[in-house]
Amino acid sequence: AVAQPVDRTIVLVGLMGAGKSCIGKRLAAHLHLPFTDADREIEAAAGCSISDIFARHGEQAFRDGERRVIQRLLGNPVHVLATGGGAFMDPNTRALIKERAFSIWLRADLDLLVKRVARRNERPLLQNVDQRQKLAELMGIRYPVYAEADLTVDSTDGPPEATLARVIAAL
């Protein structure tokens, strides 16, 4: 790929455990751009954790806040933005990302997702369920939509630098 100046915010989409935050941070450092994590911004705006938002106000309230926060972040100067796994599923958010940013789907297979989410067991959608089954279900629903991203890069097991290198090569 030909190296191009980054003129739009780069938005990472993909399922929980795909490595959006991990790769996003590294990509931002590589490009000398700021990094923003939408989930952390939502928590800062709400003054509590995502688990607390789900528990106290429900998923719909979380989705509404997520939509507003991402809309605001897309108005910021060019940066790298990692979104939560559900963000790109919202038609309005998706349209805005498509219009204003460059989107990258970090695609991972089920085994890898299952392994990765087990490391951080706080995601509300994965509580008290068979995580493999839930992730498989979400893959079925979401992968056709994530495929609308401008670019798809496979996130694989091993050092993040390997996935990062594929992202950079594909830009």
Q: For ligand S3P, which residue has the nearest CB?
A: 84
User: Which position among 41, 78, 96, 124 is part of the footprint of ligand S3P (CB under 6 A)?
Assistant: 124
Q: Is 123 in the site for ligand S3P (CB under 6 A)?
A: yes
The interface mask with ligand S3P, positions 72-111, x = CB under 6 A, is ------------xxx-------------------------
13 or 171: CB nearest ligand S3P:
13
Q: Is 18 annotated as a binding residue?
A: yes
For 69-106, letters b (16+ CB in 10 Å) and e give bbeebbeeebbbbbbbbbbbbbeebbebbeeebbbbbb
- Selected from 10, 11, 12, 16, the binder of ligand S3P by CB under 6 A is 16
Contacts to ligand S3P by CB under 6 A:
16, 20, 39, 50, 84-86, 123-125
